[in-house]
Copies of this chain bind each other. A is one copy, B any other.
Amino acid sequence: MLSLSKLKYLKSLHLQKFRDEYQEFVVEGPKMVAELLKSDFKVTGIYALKTWDSGQRGIPVSIQNLTEIISPAELVRISNLKTPNEVLATAKIPERIIEESMYDDLVLMLSQISDPGNLGTIIRIADWFGLKNIICSPDSVEVFNPKVVQASMGSLFRVKVHYADLKEVLSGINSNIPVFGAYLEGRNIYREILPQKGIIIIGNESRGIDDLLETFVTKKLFIPSFSGGAESLNASVATAIICSEFRRNTN
On A, residues with C-beta under 8 Å from B are 117, 121, 124-125, 127-130, 153-155, 158, 188, 190, 223-227, 229-234, 236-237, 240-241, 244-245, 247-251
Question: Are B190 and A251 touching (Cβ within 8 A)?
Answer: yes
Contacts of A130 in B (CB 8 A): 225-227
Question: What is the count of identical protomers in the complex?
Answer: 2
CA distance A155 to B234 in the complex (A): 12
Contacts of A127 in B (CB 8 A): 227, 229-230
CA distance A250 to B230 in the complex (A): 18
Given known contacts A190-B251, A248-B190, A251-B190, A125 and B226 CB-to-CB distance under 8 angstroms: no
CA distance A117 to B223 in the complex (A): 22
- New A-B contacts (19) at CB < 8 Å, excluding given A117-B117, A124-B237: A121-B234, A121-B237, A124-B233, A124-B234, A125-B237, A127-B227, A129-B227, A130-B225, A154-B230, A158-B229, A190-B249, A223-B244, A226-B247, A226-B250, A233-B240, A236-B237, A240-B240, A244-B244, A245-B248
CA distance A229 to B125 in the complex (A): 11
Given known contacts A240-B233, A241-B241, A251 and B188 CB-to-CB distance under 8 angstroms: yes
CA distance A244 to B190 in the complex (A): 9
CA distance A37 to B148 in the complex (A): 36
Question: Are B190 and A227 touching (Cβ within 8 A)?
Answer: no
Contacts of A247 in B (CB 8 A): 226
Question: Are B190 and A128 touching (Cβ within 8 A)?
Answer: no
